[in-house]
């Protein structure tokens, strides 16, 4: 159930990103086939992590593709994604999960056909900024108490027997 909800939510985000990328209202959005959605996985994952989302988006008429993130370093990974994006005719929406968010941010900086970025639980650094920069001393993760940032559930251990 949760996985199906996540896929549907991603499809809605992708459609919204396409509409905003073309400056259109939802009723006048570009046809799905006018844009290519390129999905980039994070570390400790591969393209198969996007299989469910690809199936949903393609069923709705989108050109959707997951590409391999080589996972070498940010510059190499972004260069690989940018190289693929440059080979795509027409507008592109880049979707990045986790570390893939850093990769798509960097790749988009040199890819004029990228019209929107979608971050799925991903890092969203500015071009030239790294994921570790986001976790530095000024990070919201360091300056705000956990209870302002996260909904936590206390661990309930069963009584010892």
Q: What is the CATH number of the domain that holds 78?
A: 3.40.50.1820
In a domain, 8, yes or no: no
Q: What is the CA radius of gyration of the chain?
A: 18
SS3 63: strand
In a domain, 143, yes or no: yes
List phi, psi (to 5°) of 22: -100, 5
In a domain, 19, yes or no: no
- Summarize pLDDT for 38-76 with one digit per residue, the tens: 999 999 999 999 999 999 999 999 999 999 999 999 999
- Look at residue 12 and tell me whether its pLDDT is greater than 50: no
Name every residue whose Cβ is closer than 8 Å to that of residue 132 and which is 6 or more positions away in sequence. Answer: none
Domain count, the chain: 1
Find the domain containing 126 and state its range.
36-149
Residues written for the chain? 161
What does the pLDDT read at residue 91?
A: 96
In a domain, 24, yes or no: no
pTM: 0.68
- Summarize pLDDT for 119-146 with one digit per residue, the tens: 998 887 776 777 777 777 777 667 766 6
In a domain, 15, yes or no: no
In a domain, 113, yes or no: yes
**Mean of pLDDT values over 94-117:** 95
In a domain, 137, yes or no: yes
In a domain, 14, yes or no: no
Helix and strand numbers (H, E) in the chain are 7, 4
């Amino acid at each position: 159930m949760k996985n199906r909800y996540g896929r549907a939510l991603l499809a809605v985000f992708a459609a919204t990103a396409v509409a905003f990328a073309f400056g259109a209202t939802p009723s006048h959005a570009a046809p799905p086939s006018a844009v290519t959605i390129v999905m980039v996985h994070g570390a400790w994952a591969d393209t198969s992590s996007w299989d469910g989302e690809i199936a949903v988006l393609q069923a709705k008429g989108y050109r959707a593709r997951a590409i391999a993130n080589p996972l070498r370093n940010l510059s190499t990974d972004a260069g690989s994604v940018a190289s693929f994006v440059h080979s795509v005719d027409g507008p592109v929406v880049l979707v990045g999960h986790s570390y893939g968010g850093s990769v798509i941010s960097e790749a988009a900086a040199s890819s004029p056909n990228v019209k929107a970025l979608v971050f799925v639980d991903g890092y969203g650094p500015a071009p030239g900024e790294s994921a570790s920069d986001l976790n530095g001393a000024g990070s919201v993760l360091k300056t705000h108490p956990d209870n302002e940032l996260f909904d936590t559930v206390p661990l309930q251990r069963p009584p010892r027997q």
